[in-house]
Amino acid sequence: SQKIEQNSEALNIQEGKTATLTCNYTNYSPAYLQWYRQDPGRGPVFLLLIRENEKEKRKERLKVTFDTTLKQSLFHITASQPADSATYLCALDMIRSNYQLIWGAGTKLIIKP
Please report whether residue 44 would count as binding other proteins according to CB under 8 A: yes
Please report whether residue 113 would count as binding other proteins according to CB under 8 A: no
SS3 60: coil
The binder of other proteins chosen from 10, 26, 27, 46 (CB under 8 A): 46
Alpha-carbon span 113 to 110, nearest angstrom: 10
Q: Return the ∠ at Cα 110 (arms to 108 and 113), rounded to 5°.
A: 175
If one counts every other C-beta atom within 10 angstroms of the C-beta of residue 73, the result is: 27
Task: Decide whether 15 or 47 has the Cβ nearer to other proteins.
Answer: 47
Binding site for other proteins (CB under 8 A): 31-32, 34, 41-46, 49, 51, 87, 89, 91, 93, 95, 98-101, 103, 105-106
